[in-house]
Amino acid sequence: MISPDSPALRRAWSAVRPADTIERAIAIQQIAAPTFAEGPRAEYIAREWRALGLQDVEIDEVGNVLARRSGGRARPVLITAHTDTVFPAETPLTIERGVERIYGPGLGDNSIGVAGLFALAETLNAAAIETPGDVCLAANVGEEGLGNLRGMRHLMKRFAASVSATIILEGMSFGSLHHQAISVHRLRITANAAGGHSWSDFGQPSAVHGLVQLAAHLTAIPLPPSPKTILNIGQINGGTSVNTIAREAALELDLRSEDTAALAAVVEEVEQAVRSFDTPGISLTATITGQRPAGAIPREHPLVQLAAAALQAVGAPPTYERGSTDANIPLSQSLPAVCIGLCRGGNAHRPDEYIEPAMLENGLKQLIFVALGAFEL
């Protein structure tokens, strides 16, 4: 395993410029990139990667931006960060700088992660590091919302076992190592009715009324505290106007569990609730909108040990996490992958999302350690 005393590593660490990475993250954050509309941000990344002298820069069929920093003949290492955010395109992307925090929607999730891809290439260039193999960079689409990890799915079809490891960057989880992926199942449940006028047709069934009745039933489904299992109605929409009996309404349901069997049991309860819904004049349909497969590599795996050693080398005790990230796809295929964070922050998926830059230098040093060490796997 790579040593913290490695001359090449020390040379690279001395070239880390966290302030530049923050400015790059803000530049990325200022380009709206809701899931399914990451194009403008992808164009910026591709243009800037070409300016850095990276090779084989392209935007692939699904919108991922790819680049390569050439190295020796060893198997490549793939390093990724998702470009999309949960925020609609019209969201104000205001940045507020405080003493210890910088606020901005999407700054931590995941503009700082994408900026980490830039920082890695710039640092290796500045330190004149020749890596044993190619460093493949990917700024991928479709991690958030209903993206269903489509960017990472496409990357794994292209790279899969041809790389020695896949390292996924998230902005706000410095100190955490995600090497276990939880199961996720998402449904859109739609209610349909004839509708009508709220006064003259009063008494006719309403799609909205029916849907909220179902929602109340769903939220009462008992969930096991262990293995941790959750049910969340993230969105409800429908209807025509305040004085119209709704003809259609829909909700978006997110189900997750640490255990595949526990998730399957909750999915069955939800589907049974839809099947048994019996209100005359209202029909319900459930459509699968996303499935994220579970997977894991053990804590003893060399890649997990490498990532833990990288944190220890910068004085941060590692915590081992389960979650849903882009790592779900390679982990579900039994491929070596780990998701690491670059700094700390909070209020993810809220307009007042923030990062705390104090740990970013150590986060970047950790990334360099893992990236260089992964060639030895």
Domain ranges (residues) in the chain: 7-181+294-376, 183-292
Whole-structure pTM over 0.85, yes or no? yes
Q: Do domains 7-181+294-376 and 183-292 have the same CATH topology?
A: no
Q: Contact 84/149 with Cβ under 8 angstroms? A: no
Name the token pair of 126.
Answer: 């500045």
Cα distances (Å, whole numbers) of residue 257 to 45, 223, 331, 358, 366: 34, 10, 16, 33, 29
Q: Which amino acid is at 49?
A: W
E strands within 41-182? 55-59, 65-69, 74-82, 96-97, 102-103, 133-140, 165-170, 176-181
CATH code of 7-181+294-376, in short, is: 3.40.630.10
Instruction: Write down the pLDDT at residue 183.
Output: 96
Question: How far apart, in whole angstroms, are the C-alpha atoms of residue 146 and residue 287?
Answer: 12
Quick one: how far is CA 145 from the chain centroid?
9
Instruction: Write down the pLDDT at residue 315.
Output: 96
Radius of gyration from C-alpha coordinates of the chain = 23
Instruction: Write down the pLDDT at residue 181.
Output: 96
Instruction: Write down the pLDDT at residue 86.
Output: 96
Where the chain has pLDDT below 70, the residues are none
CATH code of 183-292, in short, is: 3.30.70.360
Q: Which residue has the tokens 């991922």?
A: 64
Q: Contact 171/111 with Cβ under 8 angstroms? A: yes
Question: How far apart, in whole angstroms, are the C-alpha atoms of residue 269 and residue 263?
Answer: 10
Residue 101 backbone dihedrals phi, psi, to 5 degrees:
-135, 150
Classify residue 107 by its DSSP letter.
I
Instruction: Write down the pLDDT at residue 293.
Output: 95
Instruction: Write down the pLDDT at residue 279.
Output: 92
Question: How far apart, in whole angstroms, are the C-alpha atoms of residue 145 and residue 35?
Answer: 7
CA dihedral 346, 352, 356, 357 (to 10 degrees): 140
Instruction: Write down the pLDDT at residue 1.
Output: 82
